């Protein structure tokens, strides 16, 4: 299984995108190979973004909301190349960015 290098993965997301999504509390979970951050999306302070390196050396991105101990997945994107992470993160976290056509093209699934 490939090992994620947190600095390299975080470098794929530009500082402009990190500021736009209001990323704070950036942490790395080594056993899960997951980079997690708290983001400000839709005026919700309890929204978290996780970037996971899977066994195929591709990235999975998940946007989750936590409220009252209940975790709700808002968007998931599987099998992204490193150059797709920045745009995917930006569009997932912007209210008008994740249009249906773009999500289908990239492979983002909106949770029901």
Domain ranges of the chain: 6-79+100-110
Question: pLDDT tens for residues 42-61?
Answer: 676 788 999 998 888 899 99
Burial of 86 from C-beta contacts in 10 A (0-12 / 13-18 / 19+): middle
pLDDT band at 101 (very low <50, low <70, confident <90, very high): low
Residue with the two structure tokens 């992204």 = 80
Q: What percent of the chain has pLDDT over 70?
A: 79
Predicted structure pTM score = 0.81
pLDDT for the residue 105: 66
**Which is it for the CA torsion 70, 45, 64, 94, positive or negative?**
positive
CA distances to 8, 45, 105 from 25, in Å = 17, 12, 30
């Amino acid at each position: 299984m490939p090992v994620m290098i947190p600095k390299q993965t975080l470098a794929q997301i530009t500082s402009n995108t990190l500021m736009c999504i209001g990323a704070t509390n950036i942490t790395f979970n080594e056993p899960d190979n997951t980079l997690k951050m708290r983001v400000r999306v839709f005026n919700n302070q309890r929204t978290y973004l996780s970037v996971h390196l899977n066994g195929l050396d591709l990235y999975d991105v998940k946007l989750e909301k936590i409220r009252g101990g209940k975790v709700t997945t808002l968007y998931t994107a599987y099998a992204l190349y490193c150059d797709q992470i920045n745009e995917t993160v930006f569009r997932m976290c912007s209210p008008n960015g994740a249009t249906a056509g773009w999500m289908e093209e990239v492979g983002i699934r909106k949770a029901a």
